[in-house]
Structure 1
Amino acid sequence: MTSYHLTEERLSAYTRYLHAEERSPGTIEKYRRDTEAFCRWLSGAPVTREQIAAWKAFLLSQHYAPTTINSMLAALNGLFRFLGWDECRARFLKVQRRLFRDASRELTRVEYDRLLEAARARGQERLVLLMETICATGIRVSEVKYITVQAALQGRADIFLKGKIRTILLPGKLCRKLLKYAKKQKTVSGEIFLTGNGNSLSRRQIWGEMKRLCNYAGVEPSKVFPHNFRHLFATLFYRASKDIVRLADVLGHSSIETTRIYLVTSGAEYARQLNRLGLVS
């Protein structure tokens, strides 16, 4: 019987493979983190179906959400596929499609406006513009680097990610604000959102600045992270256009099923829809 053991060399080779496949930095970081967590949990034991089942049970005992567990299993399956260990593939937890989002994680338009107001009051011009850019275009935080002076001049940005190129349009008002900010920072070309040392803003820096703003804006930290601004864009775009196919193209989704996840309404909205049916006398 073949014995499968995970090693640091194999994990590193998988990371290099993900880079070669041009996966996003966020995906690579997550897959590395999840596979390393499984490796530590194994403590040198071989990979078996029984161990994988025990890993799932352990994650459930730690009160991870089913969707989170499935995302961690997806990272493992990617590793096993890379290594040719097809018989080790993990089975996902069966999760019924959610009818509504957790209100504690849903960022509303009112809360978004409060975040902008708080950042302006604190003189955080870059953060204001960054939040507006993500929310007005629906880009991923890893795609912020494609917002350049040239893109603002042209009113469009070409984004290269996951082996695909997609073009997004930038609202005219946003372009004017981006160019005004770039001129103030003496940035004549290239990326607009830079650190004081002229380096690209990292995902961690952006996340940290947003989280620190929560107390001043009176918004729950659980609602404030870059990807939630992308969710807010998707919700507002769909309400205005009712075109999920076009929204999928704008967001860069290969599957409309992925886009549907972004359009799940809050529990409060779901309750209002039920009440409007008028089926209780």
Structure 2
Amino acid sequence: MTEEKEKLFFRYVSHIYLTDKSYESIGKSIKAVKLFLESDCQTSRKGYKEYIRRNAAELSDKPYIKDSLCEFLNYLGIGYSRSQKEKVVKPLEKLSIISDKNMKLLNEFVYYLTQDEDYSPHTLEIYSFSIKKYFEYANEVSVDNYKRFVKMMEKEGFSPQTIRLRITALERFSKWIKKPIELKRPKFNRKLNTENVPTESDYKKLLDYLYTRTNKDHYFFIKILATTGARVSEFFQLKWEDILNGEVTLKGKGNKYRRFFFSKQLQTEVKSYVKEQNKTGYVAVGKFGRLTQRGLCQSMKDWGDKCGIDKCKMHPHAFRHFFAKMYLKKNNDVVQLAEILGHGSIDTTRIYLQKSYDEQKREFNRSVTW
């Protein structure tokens, strides 16, 4: 890369980190632009066309690279758009039956994920269901079929969230069969229903109830979820020894590692409890062994009934939201919260800045006094 191109590259890297793209998208864009600048092609429309022509085979199933380069050229003021003549994509039509070959392939894929990847049962179910649905509409894996399958889902009115989940599964499957395909994901506005997040009053009421029960483990289940912001899959990996240690690094969503801290207050309470009850190993254990997500959710709804807390607030993820709201109340640092929660984009974290109906009403009445 020449000195002039190197300056352009570092300027662009500084710029792209100020956009609202996810860290994953930023990484892909930076890599695409770097490879383009390292080639002997000119930084111009003509150079772009030449680069695409030379690498046509490699770029055929990676549309994000072309998008990244066009964005780079637009940033430089050269201006280039790929949307001059968009190809009309026809949705797929349902087949009469899934072939034996594809059913065998699907089973082998699920077995591979079960044996070689650390996915949660819920994720495995989504992947299996998504690939099965794809094979109900297509016999072969190809870029064209993938796009047509997405078009079919859009035509049928599937939500952007569902389509994004299916695309993730399809991309993972294509990678496994060594025909990697990447697709554009539909955008959607992330919304948090702030009415379904426990309040401080709900939290204290629940802890008071669980503290007096015979099995005090349940008290710590809630306290750990509410003071760490852990996802349920991460919570199931925690051990009593981790809490006593004050921190632990775990593999979480997307096979990414992140560190969890435990408050001094929680450590003090747990230290006394594990000594008294001789507790070791995994925290999330019930009468019959390791807990399941369904079992924990059902127990939480039962506790909510006893305390008079709405069932919609009584599930593990609600206390991840509770943690985020409480953290922002004490320390209004969205960037730091994004790191603690393991979010790929700060936009995901900003949803926790939303206020509930009661909070809005209270602030309105306190402010509007004229």
Aligned to 1:221: 311
Name the % identity.
Answer: 26
Aligned ranges 1:115-264 → 2 under 5 Å: 115-161=206-252, 162-187=254-279, 189-197=280-288, 199-264=289-354
| Change in CA separation of 1:25 and 1:238 when aligned onto 2, cut-off 3 Å | farther
| 8 Å contact from structure 2 (residues 164, 185) kept in 1 | no
Aligned to 2:104: 9
RMSD (Å), alpha carbons = 3.6
| 8 Å contact from structure 2 (residues 94, 136) kept in 1 | no
The answer for unaligned runs of 5 or more in structure 1 is 61-68
| 8 Å contact from structure 1 (residues 101, 265) kept in 2 | no
Secondary structure of residue in 1 paired with 2:327: helix
Aligned to 1:72: 162
The answer for unaligned runs of 5 or more in structure 2 is 1-91, 140-144
| 8 Å contact from structure 2 (residues 284, 290) kept in 1 | yes
| Change in CA separation of 1:213 and 1:167 when aligned onto 2, cut-off 3 Å | same
2: distance between equivalents of 1:192 and 1:96?
35
2: distance between equivalents of 1:184 and 1:70?
50
1: distance between equivalents of 2:292 and 2:343?
23
2: distance between equivalents of 1:142 and 1:128?
19
Secondary structure of residue in 1 paired with 2:251: strand
| Change in CA separation of 1:102 and 1:151 when aligned onto 2, cut-off 3 Å | closer
Matched, 1:28 2:124: yes
| 8 Å contact from structure 2 (residues 161, 188) kept in 1 | no
Following superposition, the deviation at residue 43 of structure 1 comes to 9.3
> What's the TM-score once normalised by structure 1's chain length?
0.75
2: distance between equivalents of 1:139 and 1:258?
15
| 8 Å contact from structure 1 (residues 119, 128) kept in 2 | yes
For the pair shown, the structure with the greater C-alpha radius of gyration is: 2
Per-residue CA deviations over 1:54-76 (Å, capped at 9, x if unaligned) read: 5445556xxxxxxxx32321221
| Change in CA separation of 1:58 and 1:212 when aligned onto 2, cut-off 3 Å | farther
> What's the TM-score once normalised by structure 2's chain length?
0.59
2: distance between equivalents of 1:52 and 1:152?
44
| 8 Å contact from structure 1 (residues 101, 267) kept in 2 | no
2:138 corresponds to which of 46, 52, 65 = 46
Per-residue CA deviations over 1:18-44 (Å, capped at 9, x if unaligned) read: 5545444543344445x27x72xx894
| Change in CA separation of 1:277 and 1:149 when aligned onto 2, cut-off 3 Å | closer
